[in-house]
Amino acid sequence: MARDLGVSGWVRNEPDGTVHAEFEGDDNAVHGMVAWCQGGTDEATVTGVEVFEDEPAGDLGFHVR
């Protein structure tokens, strides 16, 4: 979804079952990505999403870590 929206950054699964992701790009694209995360994939069980703003890291493309 991030690639479809043109969002750069990364995502990784944490040992405790949570997912950590960093997104950067156009405000509308990032907001769209956050909205998508609130539902997740068909296989996911999303119980909450926390959003923190930070300075862009300058990532190019989107990567799974």
> d(Cα 63, Cα 3) in Å, to the nearest integer?
9
Q: What pLDDT sits at residue 31?
A: 96
> d(Cα 57, Cα 60) in Å, to the nearest integer?
9
Q: Mean pLDDT across the stretch 31-59?
A: 91
Q: What pLDDT sits at residue 21?
A: 95
Q: Mean pLDDT across the stretch 26-30?
A: 95
Domain boundaries defined on the chain? 2-48
End-to-end Cα distance, the chain: 16
- Say yes or no to pLDDT of 42 above 90: no
Q: Which of 38, 64, 45 is nearest to 22 (CA)?
A: 64
Q: Share the mean pLDDT of the chain.
A: 93
